[in-house]
Amino acid sequence: MRIAIIDDSGLRATILEEGLRDAGFDEIEVVPPQGAFVARLERMAPDVVLMNLGNASRDSLEEMLAVSRALARPIAMFVDQSDDSMIGAAIDAGISAYVVDGLRKERIKPVLELAIRRFNAFSKLQAELDAARTELADRKTVDRAKAILMKSRGLDEPGAYALLRTTAMKQGRRIVEMAEALITAADLLGDGR
């Protein structure tokens, strides 16, 4: 597992690195949050990112949240102190684990495991949500195509669906693809709604 540590303090980065090495991880790279470090992280493609902000300012928190948005990876953030708005911003940015005043090397592995599990759970939920949204959009498309067929051909709803399905099967296409083609044609002819 490739792990990136983002930290501008050599001492804190050493604590994280020792905790990871003690836990059996050896592919570790420390990346100071300077210059084009987000692009460097993207090229590095770590499996997990550990951020140690110490006493985080709003500016440093915003920089680190940009990392979270740029990388679709589990990210654990360590801070010395926090408030509700910082916690909220971290959650909104997709930080998987947010640890306040907990930088001890024996805690690194459990925090890392938590970040990975939370990231995977969130990713699964996001995939399910995306699938549900796609299914709903497809259903709306098919319903609109059925309405066009019902109006133009005088069909009832089951008949319009059967015509869509049969035509899709004959052409080796999905029903939603057929519905999209019908809607496009109807729009071009001025018959769509």
pLDDT value of residue 144: 97
**Nearest to residue 97, comparing CAs of 152, 163, 48?**
48
What is the secondary structure of the chain as a DSSP string?
-EEEEE-S-HHHHHHHHHHHHHTT--EEEEE-S-SSHHHHHHHH--SEEEEEEES--HHHHHHHHHHHHH--S-EEEEES---HHHHHHHHHTT-SEEEES---GGGHHHHHHHHHHHHHHHHHHHHHHHHHHHHHHHHHHHHHHHHHHHHHH---HHHHHHHHHHHHHHHT--HHHHHHHHHHHHHHHT---
Q: Which stretch, 26-30, 49-53, 71-75, has highest mean pLDDT?
A: 26-30
In degrees and rounded to multiples of 5, residue 30 shows phi and psi of -90, 125
pLDDT band at 44, cuts 50/70/90?
A: confident
Answer yes or no: are the C-beta atoms of 94 and 69 closer than 8 Å: yes
Given a cut of 70, whether residue 184 has pLDDT beyond it is yes
Comparing 63-67, 79-83, 104-108, 127-131, which segment has the lowest mean pLDDT? 63-67
Cα angle value 42/102/99 (rounded, 5°): 50
Asked whether 67 and 75 are in contact (CB, 8 A), the reply is yes
pLDDT digits (tens, 9 = 90+) for 86-98: 777 777 777 888 8
Residue 54 binned pLDDT confidence (cut-offs 50, 70, 90): low
pLDDT recorded at residue 37: 77
Report the C-alpha gap between 104 and 87 in whole angstroms. Answer: 20
Segment 95-123 mean pLDDT = 84
Please compute the mean of the pLDDT values over residues 142-160 and round it to a whole number: 96
- Over residues 60-76, the mean pLDDT reads 74
Task: Please report the pLDDT score of residue 3 as a whole number.
Answer: 93
C-alpha distance from residue 115 to each of 42, 61, 98, 180, 191 (Å): 19, 18, 9, 41, 53
